[in-house]
Structure 1
Amino acid sequence: MKTFDNEDKLPPVPLPALEDTCARFLEWSRPLLTEQEFAETEAAVQEFGQADGPGPKLHADLVRYNADPTTHSWLDTFWPARYLGRRDRIALNANFFFLFRDTPLRGFADPQVERAARLITAAVNYKTRLDEERLPAAVTRGRPLSMEQNKFLFSTTRIPGPVQDTVRAPYSDEMPGPSTARHVVVFHHGNAFRMDVIGPGGHPYSLDDVIAGLRQVHKAGLAQPATAAGHLTTMARAEWAATRQRLLALNPGNAAALDTIETALFCVCLEDLTPADDLAACDQLLHGDSGNRWFDKAVSLIVFADGTAGINVEHCELDGTTILSFVDTVLTGSPEEHAAQSGAVTQGVPAIEPVTFVLDDSLRADIAAAARSFAQFGADTATVTLSVDEFGVDEVKRLRMSPDAFAQMAYQLAHRRAKGFIGATYESIATRQYLRGRTEAMRVVTPEVLRFVSVMDDVTASPEQRRAAFRAAADKHVERAKQCQAGAAPEQHLWELQLIQKRHGAALGVPEEPRLYETPGWLTMRDDYLSTSSAPSTSIRYFGFGATSSRCIGIAYVLLPDRFNLYLSTPRPVAGLMHTFAEQLRAALRELRDLLEER
């Protein structure tokens, strides 16, 4: 079976009935509201959903759109609006990272170049297999998954726009079929270099050729002053769009330089530093030296001086599950095996040339200002890693508990103990079993969660009562996750109806935004105190992203057979609460494991 053979056979993302969405919205928001707030929200929902109300008019337009033969999913316009429409910076705010597992590099004089060459060789092999549709189509529990996102792994770049960004990518009208690019862009010391990784005849360069090319880049990067134009990709999107236009207007060579970066298969970032520990490596992968990055690029492989490596991913077309599959494949097998599979041959040192920009004083000032602003933004973000190595996924499964439910209940208990209350919690749920499926937004807090955290801290409760409350909350969590996997969740549906009203509400008879979107239910349910996502893979040590609001803790967790590894992030002003949460979380994970073991 070819890579994309299942795509046309996948069912479309289900479009929920409006009345079901309204009912679920009330159910999901209620645990976070006072009686008065819920009454206000319920009244607005009834007004929204009544026969002559705004909800049916907006939903009818969505039904018409979904029925159009050219529509793949009723979320086709939602995803660009959600990701490409955001106007703040994407660096740290939206991009995410994975820290790869260690690879033994003993005996190598230059572990950085060796590791980078291995990753490039394996990634080029992945592209070769993808182009020829020799990658196995993904399947989970017997159900095929969409492979569509794989089309955005290579030669894909987000382009800033004044109102909404766009994406430059292969498999598009402008670039039909796979990318024909033969090069990557390597960043070193703030300078960018084009390096061919596929020869003129279509064969990838051998591992030794790639090593020789990287050594030349390394030498050249040290020999010239840094341009560090990558700092510009940390700017707010409209600001970067305006600067990019000035860059293009200044000199024709700048268009060629941008074209080289934007069409490159991926970026490789060589860093001089050796991370002191896992936290330092994670922080560098998340934001690091922005002059040595191009955050708009879909995939950037980052390699440190000692060979420690990871990946930074632009999120607009790629979700974690696709990147995990890519990373698992790239990190499995020897570089010699990858080279042989791709048909790599010895061709000599690859073609290398610097990617240079012509700058005036104004653009140099913009680059310097962007560098200072982003360095401060990174410094204003507090982070911590947490590794619970007494037990992991295998142990939790042995205790007849969903590992994700176990972790999520520990988050709720720790948050209650750290802050004294339960707050809105987001979890990303994959929906790739549908045509062009991506993710669904799950809200974790339920009445069962409220009872669970209350019973856990009730000194009069017996162990049996605590276990019962724990399992009831976990079971409800699993049930809700299955709802999300089935496309039966309210938030994205209501969000898209809100966007429809903004786009052409007047023509539909809904000239003003419905009151529902100003209710305590809508605002409170989406005001995250915890934003969570998981990455089940033994190929990575840590996974991470930035917090989503001024008081949010971002929690990225890797579920490993023998441990839980977590990366937490939050704005610096509330760092103390995050550290308290981390301490409570470590204790809660152990406490809940012990509680299940007592029987």
Structure 2
Amino acid sequence: MAEAHQAVAFQFTVTPDGVDFRLSREALKHIYLSGINSWKKRLIRIKNGILRGVYPGSPTSWLVVAVATVGSSYCNVDISMGMVCHIQKYLPEGSGTYQTPQSRALISMAIFSTAAWMTGIFFFRQTLKWLLSYHGWMFEMHGRTSRFTKVWAICVRLLSSRRPMLYSFQTSLPKLPVPTVPATIQRYLASVHPLLGEEEYNRMEKLAKEFQENTAPRLQKYLILKSWWATNYVSDWWEEYIYLRGRSPLMVNSNYYAMDFVLIKNTEVQAARLGNVVHAMITYRRKLDREDIKPVMAMNLVPMCSYQMERMFNTTRIPGKDTDILQHLAESRHVAVYHKGRFFKVWIYEGSRLLQPRDLEMQFQRILDDPSPPQPGEEKLAALTAGGRTEWAQARQDFFSSGKNKASLDAIERAAFFVALDEESYSYDPEDEASLSFYGKALLHGNCYNRWFDKSFTLISFKNGQLGLNTEHAWADAPIMGHLWEFVLGTDSFHLGYTKTGHCVGDPSPRLPPPQRLQWSIPEQCQAVIESSYQVAKTLADDLELYCFQFLPFGKGLIKKCRTSPDAFVQIALQLAHFRDRGKFCLTYEASMTRLFREGRTETVRSCTSESTAFVQAMMKGSHKKSELQILFRKASEKHQNMYRLAMTGSGIDRHLFCLYVVSKYLGVDSPFLAEVLSEPWRLSTSQIAQFQIHMFDPNKYPNHLGAGGGFGPVADDGYGVSYMIAGEKTIFFHISSKFSSSETNAQRFGKHIRQALLDIADLFNCKIDS
């Protein structure tokens, strides 16, 4: 056994002459290298902290200021305007360092230079923060940029031109502003007006007015106070109350999935593909630790917040009876692996050296070849993470708080991430449309016990070499995982590569000890809890209908010819499709991001508007001319784009109302208006998937290197979850979820309506669709 070999790192024997120690040179070498690696990381963090802290300045700029100050004094020019002489007066006199006038002058100039440099940095950072608080650029039409915005853009570029590190802009990002109550109420009433009858709307308007006049002012004061004190007035409450306090299963209800490249295959050797991808992931983690990743920039100019990236690796959601917590470790040197009902611990370092892809392939192949059976209760153990959170918290306390169960659970929860080696094969076959849906379901829930849903993410490997992700949602939003996934897939395809036989490049190190099998002692009472959680999860999985398809007639290219936003185009098509599917409109959720602000996460765009419903109703009548429908469509598109921009710039509706609701609960204030708003069901929940956040390859040169995006479960029992990715110029991928138990929804039927709605809208603009 590997652990038995590791246990003999040193030995000692007692002899008449004393104690004789026999130290293993190999073990001491690894201890030494691990220590060196640890100190390197500490020094890198210290260096990065300094460089980040003085951005947009640099140590070199301090040297320039110091040289300029000293040089000017030799030219008899006092650029300090007497400050150097003033400082010199306060230096203590005496022997030694301060003995000569020249030494005292140099020290005074160094002090002045440092003070001037730090003042300049403070001024530049405050200026950059002020500049980044301007969002007018988002509301200007393409090609009609104002002179003010052009000057603003030049200033931003000048202040951020030096190569930034990942977190360089964090302290320069503005805080998320608290909207005024009247503005939020007005936007809210406008959003529900097309969904309510006249009597219902009048009742809601009355509730809103009463809330605005009587209850809201007191709540708003507390919220403004929090916005002054906290970095972000929304994010911590959003994480706690929307995610961590949720007691329902994470599987389907919260976690989401992401797919692999679907039109190409680099290799069909399961262990080899995993070796390359795990190596790429740890390489990304190393870049993350060193902050050697460029921040995502909107319009290649405005930085977005990067704080969510901090918990990407070494993070686990720990269950609690009332609320969960996110456990994040500074370092983890192994991954946890599940295969055929067994759990393994695989080291990803040898001393301070990151294992190469061929080494990792060998380790994963050893697991695949391991014939040992699961221990009693081990096979379905991960079902605990798929069931109710309270039940899992109680079982964790009762059965995993000591002994080898605790040690093995720690190995999983302290891993960099979780790896699932599946025995089944899934992939997308363009000739078999259903294959994409089967692939999605396998990623979203698997067999309910072969994913560790608590880990920040589970890397899923199928027998045919195809991959995917299942991601826990509390720690970050989907674009963050998308950034990692793009890096990994690009590195795998264009930098690491494979041999002709499909194996990783290079030769493995045969001295590596095999993966460590985790040991469990699971009593029958615990096995009963595991089975109960499994049944809960299986019921949830069996009830999920998932329909995924590739829309081939057109993509972003043709939509641009219609002179409209691709996202608005798809969102309006979803409204038309939903009306055809259900015969009515519904409250629609579209996720938008607020990462233009510090620690920003998401905001809701209420996509069902008076303008979009007017267009849909006109389309349904069938009596309007194309020109009239075009006008209605453009009004709906412009309204949607404006709402999206408002959400991104801190003027959304739902996060403000959510925080007011939280304050009301803290104060013990009942608000019928807020209670009703927060209980409204989102029967259509939608999200566009971010892509090409980093430029790992040219998509025009490699058009088949397309991921299909990912998806999530429906938010409402009688609703739809729709995720879509406008994958380049010629195609769109859709992921539609619903529940079989609802007689009102059918994911496949809705998908057909989406196809037809897209075609019908394109036909309005006489856009030629390639056959």
Q: Under a length normalisation based on structure 2, what TM-score does the superposition of the two structures give?
A: 0.71
Partner Cα distance (1:105, 1:485) in 2 = 37
Partner Cα distance (1:496, 1:198) in 2 = 44
Partner Cα distance (1:375, 1:434) in 2 = 40
Aligned to 2:296: 138
Partner Cα distance (1:7, 1:516) in 2 = 36
Query: Which amino acid is 1:93 matched to?
Result: N
Aligned to 1:220: 370
One of 115, 120, 139 as aligned partner of 2:278: 120
Partner Cα distance (1:375, 1:325) in 2 = 31
How does 1:510-549 map onto structure 2 within 5 Å? 510=669, 513-519=670-676, 523=679, 526-537=680-691, 539-549=706-716
Aligned to 1:254: 405
Partner Cα distance (1:255, 1:32) in 2 = 52
Secondary structure of the residue aligned to 2:236 is coil
Aligned to 2:322: 163
Residues 46-103 of structure 1: per-residue CA shift (max 9 Å, x gap): 11111xx2211111111112211x5444432232211111111111110001111148
Select between 574-583 and 271-280 the one with higher mean Cα deviation. Answer: 574-583
Q: 1:376 to 1:515 in 2, by over 3 A?
A: closer
Query: Which amino acid is 2:257 matched to?
Result: F
Query: Which amino acid is 1:399 matched to?
Result: C
Give RMSD over aligned pairs. 2.1
Secondary structure of the residue aligned to 2:400 is helix
Aligned to 2:254: 94
Secondary structure of the residue aligned to 2:470 is strand
One of 30, 51, 64 as aligned partner of 2:225: 64
Partner Cα distance (2:260, 2:426) in 1 = 13
Aligned to 2:736: 568
Contact 1:429 1:440 in 2 (8 A): yes
Secondary structure of the residue aligned to 1:15 is coil
Contact 1:448 1:472 in 2 (8 A): yes
Q: 1:279 to 1:78 in 2, by over 3 A?
A: closer
Query: Which amino acid is 2:538 matched to?
Result: A
Residues 384-426 of structure 1: per-residue CA shift (max 9 Å, x gap): 1122101011221232111111111111101111111111110
Contact 2:252 2:444 in 1 (8 A): yes
Contact 1:282 1:542 in 2 (8 A): no
Contact 1:122 1:335 in 2 (8 A): no
Aligned to 2:719: 552
Residues 294-343 of structure 1: per-residue CA shift (max 9 Å, x gap): 1000011101111111111000011111111111111113479469xxxx
Q: 1:192 to 1:234 in 2, by over 3 A?
A: same
How does 1:372-521 map onto structure 2 within 5 Å? 372-502=535-665, 504-506=666-668, 510=669, 513-519=670-676
Residues 102-144 of structure 1: per-residue CA shift (max 9 Å, x gap): 48557x6x62111111110110100011111111111111110
Structure 1 position 219, deviation (Å): 2.1
Q: Which has the higher Rg, Structure 1 or Structure 2?
A: 2
Partner Cα distance (1:505, 1:361) in 2 = 46
Q: 1:447 to 1:395 in 2, by over 3 A?
A: same
Partner Cα distance (1:135, 1:567) in 2 = 30
Aligned to 1:358: 521
Q: 1:598 to 1:393 in 2, by over 3 A?
A: closer
Contact 1:207 1:335 in 2 (8 A): no
Question: 2:764 aligned with 1:595, yes or no?
Answer: yes
Query: Which amino acid is 2:591 matched to?
Result: S
Residues 228-281 of structure 1: per-residue CA shift (max 9 Å, x gap): 3111001111121111111224x4222212211111111111110012721111
Aligned to 2:416: 265
Structure 1 position 354, deviation (Å): 1.5
Structure 1 position 527, deviation (Å): 1.3
Contact 2:336 2:345 in 1 (8 A): yes
Partner Cα distance (1:133, 1:199) in 2 = 23
Aligned to 1:278: 436
Structure 1 residue ranges, 4+ long, deviating more than 6 angstroms after superposition? none
Aligned to 2:63: none
Partner Cα distance (1:223, 1:212) in 2 = 20
Question: 2:302 aligned with 1:152, yes or no?
Answer: no
Partner Cα distance (2:492, 2:533) in 1 = 40
Q: 1:321 to 1:336 in 2, by over 3 A?
A: closer
Partner Cα distance (1:128, 1:234) in 2 = 30
Secondary structure of the residue aligned to 2:171 is helix
Aligned to 1:27: 190
One of 325, 337, 344 as aligned partner of 1:186: 337
Select between 30-39 and 421-430 the one with higher mean Cα deviation. Answer: 30-39
Partner Cα distance (2:281, 2:219) in 1 = 44
One of 354, 375, 385 as aligned partner of 1:233: 385
Query: Which amino acid is 1:514 matched to?
Result: S
Q: How many residues align?
A: 571
Aligned to 2:102: none
Partner Cα distance (2:543, 2:384) in 1 = 19
Structure 1 position 350, deviation (Å): 5.4
Partner Cα distance (1:335, 1:470) in 2 = 41
Query: Which amino acid is 1:310 matched to?
Result: G
Aligned to 1:580: 749
Partner Cα distance (2:507, 2:652) in 1 = 51
- Matched-pair identity in %: 27
Q: 1:541 to 1:11 in 2, by over 3 A?
A: same
Structure 1 position 346, deviation (Å): 6.4
Partner Cα distance (1:403, 1:487) in 2 = 22
Contact 2:177 2:227 in 1 (8 A): no
Contact 2:568 2:640 in 1 (8 A): yes
Structure 1 position 476, deviation (Å): 0.7
Gaps spanning 5+ residues in structure 1: where? 171-178
Q: 1:449 to 1:350 in 2, by over 3 A?
A: farther
Contact 2:263 2:706 in 1 (8 A): no
Secondary structure of the residue aligned to 1:386 is strand
Structure 1 position 221, deviation (Å): 6.3
Secondary structure of the residue aligned to 1:333 is helix
Residues 164-189 of structure 1: per-residue CA shift (max 9 Å, x gap): 1110013xxxxxxxx32110011111
Partner Cα distance (1:208, 1:490) in 2 = 51
Secondary structure of the residue aligned to 2:726 is strand
Partner Cα distance (1:72, 1:439) in 2 = 12
Aligned to 1:76: 236
Gaps spanning 5+ residues in structure 2: where? 1-163, 428-434, 498-505, 692-704
Aligned to 2:449: 291
Secondary structure of the residue aligned to 2:622 is coil
One of 212, 215, 218 as aligned partner of 1:54: 215
Query: Which amino acid is 1:65 matched to?
Result: K
Query: Which amino acid is 2:531 matched to?
Result: A
Partner Cα distance (2:237, 2:767) in 1 = 50
Query: Which amino acid is 1:155 matched to?
Result: N
Secondary structure of the residue aligned to 1:39 is helix
Partner Cα distance (1:206, 1:298) in 2 = 23
Aligned to 1:175: none
Partner Cα distance (2:278, 2:468) in 1 = 12
How does 1:311-322 map onto structure 2 within 5 Å? 311-322=469-480
Contact 1:331 1:539 in 2 (8 A): no
